[in-house]
C-alpha cells in the first residue's frame, strides 16, 4: 500500500462542496471515482480542509492509499484524464510516508476572498468573485480586520452547523488589499471554524461601505453571539490557497 499526496485545483461552482454528499456531486466523489477507474480500487480521499458549495481551491492538499504499483506522475496524468470534464485538476502528486495525513498533519491553512468592486456585471469572474457595486474603503476594512487577529472566541463568526469542539481559534493573518477594482482579503490560521472566513468578510464589507463603524467588528467579536453577525459573504469569492506541513520551506 502506497500513500500518495495530491495537490488539487478546482472550481467549486458545480459541486456541493469538497466532501461527499448524499444530495449532489462533490470533489471527493469525482476524485475517488477517477481513482477507481485508474486502479480498480475503492479508495477514500482525505483533504486538508473542507469547502462548501461554490468554494474554490488553488492548492488543496489531499491523500489517498493505493495498492497498485504506479509512479506518481503516471497516477497524476491518469487521474486528470478521468476527471475531465469536471473542473478539477491534480497539479502535483508524490509519495509520502504512511503516517503523513493531509488533514491531521496540517499545521496551517490559508484562504483568499475576492471582491470585485464595480457596477458592471461580471463576465470572466462570474461565480469566481463577489461583486459589490457600492464603493468600498479597503483601508477601513483592513483596520477593522486587525481586531480579529489573535486568539479569540469566534462564536459570532461561526456557523450554527459548525462541528468544532471549541469556538476559540487563533487567527494569524487577516489582511485587506486592493488591486485595481479587486479587493482581496487574506486569512491564515492553523484551522478555521465553519463559515468563519465568509462571516468575517461579510462584516468587513459592511465596514467598507460605511454601514458599520470600524469598531463594530470588535464589538461583534466580543458579543460571542451569532445574532450579532452583520452578513455572511457568499461562497463564490472564497478560495483555499495553501496547506502548510512541518518541515515545509
Beta-strand runs (E) in 41-167:
46-47, 56-66, 88-96, 108-116, 130-131, 150-153
Q: Cα separations (Å) of 195 from 7, 75, 132, 154, 236?
A: 23, 33, 19, 11, 13
Catalytic pick among 11, 52, 65, 153: 52
Each of the 249 residues of the chain gets a pLDDT tens digit; together they read 999 999 999 999 999 999 998 889 999 999 999 999 999 999 999 999 989 999 999 999 999 999 999 999 999 999 999 999 999 999 999 999 999 999 999 999 999 999 999 999 999 999 999 999 999 999 999 999 999 999 999 999 998 888 888 999 999 999 999 999 999 999 999 999 999 999 999 999 999 999 999 999 999 999 999 999 989 999 999 999 999 999 865
Provide the b/e sequence for 27-52 (b: ≥16 CB within 10 Å).
bbbbbbbbbeebbeeebebbbbbbbb
Cell of 105: 498533519
Q: Is residue 230 within 8 Å of 96, Cβ to Cβ? A: no
Global pTM?
0.95
Is residue 153 annotated as part of the catalytic site, yes or no? no
The structural domains of the chain, ordered by start, are 2-96 (3.30.70.580), 108-244 (3.30.70.660)
**Number of helical H runs and strand E runs in the chain:** 5, 10
Place of cell 491534480: 90
Amino acid at each position: 500500500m502506497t500513500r500518495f499526496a495530491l495537490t488539487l485545483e478546482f472550481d467549486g461552482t458545480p459541486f456541493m462542496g469538497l466532501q461527499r454528499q448524499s444530495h449532489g456531486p462533490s470533489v471527493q466523489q469525482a476524485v475517488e471515482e477517477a481513482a477507481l477507474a485508474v486502479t480498480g480500487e475503492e479508495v477514500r480521499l482525505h483533504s486538508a480542509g473542507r469547502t462548501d458549495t461554490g468554494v474554490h481551491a488553488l492548492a488543496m492538499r489531499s491523500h489517498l492509499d493505493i495498492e497498485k504499483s504506479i509512479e506518481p506522475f503516471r497516477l497524476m496524468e491518469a487521474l486528470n484524464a478521468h476527471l475531465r470534464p469536471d473542473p478539477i485538476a491534480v497539479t502535483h502528486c508524490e509519495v509520502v510516508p504512511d503516517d503523513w495525513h493531509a488533514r491531521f498533519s496540517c499545521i496551517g491553512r490559508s484562504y483568499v476572498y475576492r471582491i470585485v468592486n464595480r457596477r458592471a456585471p461580471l463576465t470572466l469572474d462570474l461565480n469566481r468573485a463577489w461583486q459589490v457595486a457600492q464603493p468600498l474603503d479597503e483601508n477601513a476594512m483592513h483596520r477593522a480586520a486587525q481586531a480579529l487577529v489573535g486568539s479569540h472566541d469566534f462564536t459570532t463568526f461561526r456557523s450554527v452547523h459548525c462541528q468544532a469542539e471549541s469556538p476559540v481559534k487563533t487567527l494569524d493573518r487577516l489582511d485587506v488589499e486592493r488591486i485595481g477594482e479587486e479587493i482581496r482579503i487574506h486569512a491564515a490560521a492553523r484551522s478555521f471554524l465553519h463559515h468563519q472566513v465568509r462571516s468575517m468578510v461579510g462584516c468587513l464589507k459592511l465596514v467598507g461601505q460605511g454601514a458599520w463603524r470600524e469598531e463594530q467588528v470588535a464589538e461583534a467579536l466580543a458579543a460571542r453571539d451569532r445574532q450579532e453577525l452583520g452578513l455572511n459573504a457568499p461562497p463564490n469569492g472564497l478560495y483555499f490557497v495553501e496547506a502548510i506541513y512541518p518541515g515545509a520551506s
